[in-house]
Amino acid sequence: SSDVLEAIENVIQDVLKSLAQKKAPVLTVAKRSDWRNVEFRDSVGLQMIPHYTTKQIRSDCPRSAPTFALMLKILSMIYKMVQSNTYATKRDIYYSDTQLFGSQSVVDNIINDISCMLKIPRRSLHILSTTKGFVAGNLIYTEEDGTKVNCTCSATAVTVPSNVQGIKNLISHAKFMLIVEKDATFQRLLDDDFCNKLSPCIMITGRGVPDLNTRLLVRKLWDSLQIPIFTLMDADPHGVEIMCIYKYGSVSMSFEAHHLTVPSVKWLGLLPSDLERLNIRKDALIPFSKQDQTKLASIQKRPYIACQPMWKKELEIMAASKLKAEIQVLTSLSSDYLSRVYLPNKLQFGGWI
C-alpha cells in the first residue's frame, strides 16, 4: 500500500510543480487500445511494449480538462481508501457522484488508465470489480475474510469472489477446467451433473465477455492446479473473441497480461468443422451479419492466429460458409447431446485444438 500512496503522491507533485512554474498540468497515459502498443509473446499473450505511445490529458484544453479533473478526483478517492484500508467497487465510485461522472464506462476507463499510468494492478488500488461470473464443480477454498466456500456439493453455482487475490487453501481433485461462454449452457451442464459424471472437473462462466475477476480466477486456478483448461464457445466470431481474451488477453488490458492470461487454454468446441462432421442441418445455422464478417476478418489478422494453424483452418471454414451456430444447436440432435455425447467424446478422444 505504501507503493500505491507513493505513486499517487508523485503524480500530484508533478501537478504542483507545473502550477508553481505557471504551466498547465498534464497527465500522461498510455494509448491502451492501440494495437501498435502491443506485442504478442507465446508465453504471455498480448502485452504492452516497453516504449509505448502515450497521449496527454491536458488541464488547459477544453476537450480533455474534464477527464483531467475526474482522474484527480478518482486518485484522491483511491488514496483515501488505501490509507484507511477500505474497498469500493467501480459501481460505488460511479454512484458516489453520478452527475459528475456521467456514466459507468467513464469511471471504468479512467480507473484502467490510472492503473496503467501508476503501473499498479487494479486490485492494489482497492477497487473491486462487480463480479458477474460463476464457478461450480470440484473446488473448495477459503475467502479472505475466512468464509469457507464449497463449490462441490451444490447444484447451484457460486459467484466468482470479488477479491480473487485473497482466496487461499484451494482444494480440488478436478482433472480439467471447462470455461463456458454462456450462462444458459453453463446452467444446463450443471443440471445434467456434468461436473461429476465424466470425471471431477471445475466449470467457470464469465457469462459472455469475462470480467476481470473471472479472468483472475481462471489464472489463479491454473497457477495452483496446473490442469488442462478447455473452452466451450459458440461457433461464431464473438465466441472466438471471448476465448482469445482468456487465452491471449485483450489489447486494452495488455498492461496487466502477466496476471490475466492463460496461454495453455484449448478450444474444445463448438468448432466450425464440428457442424459439418455432425451433419447439423443448414436451417439450424445462422447467416453472418456484416458485423460478424468484420469481426472475423479482424481476428484473422491478429498476430497470435498465425502461430495457431488449426485455429486458422477453423476460422477459414467459418469465413467460407458465412454461417454461425450457437452451442444450443446440438439440441437439434437430442436434448442432452452436449453432456451425454459431444463433451465425453471430445474429452476422451482429444477433439480439441
Task: For 87-107, give the DSSP string.
Answer: -EEHHHHHHT-HHHH-SHHHH
Provide the β-strand partners of residue 30. Answer: 54
Q: Could you give the CA distance from residue 69 to residue 85 in angstroms, rounded to a whole number?
A: 24
How is residue 230 written as a grid cell? 478447455
Helix 2-20 and helix 104-118, axial crossing angle in degrees, nearest 10:
90
With H, G, I as helix, E, B as strand and everything else as coil, classify residue 113: helix
Provide the β-strand partners of residue 134. Answer: 159, 205
Q: Could you give the CA distance from residue 90 to residue 333 in angstroms, rounded to a whole number?
A: 43
How is residue 284 written as a grid cell? 439450424
Q: Is 95 a residue of the active site?
A: yes
The Cβ of residue 89 has, within 10 Å, a number of other Cβ atoms equal to 14
Of the residues 52, 79, 87, 95, only one is catalytic, namely 95
CA 187, 191, 197, 198 dihedral sign is negative
The amino acid that residue 203 corresponds to is M
How is residue 293 written as a grid cell? 464478417
CA angle 72, 76, 80 (to 5 degrees): 170
Which of 93, 132, 85, 87 lies closest to 111, judged by CA? 93
The amino acid that residue 33 corresponds to is S
Residues annotated catalytic, as ranges = 95
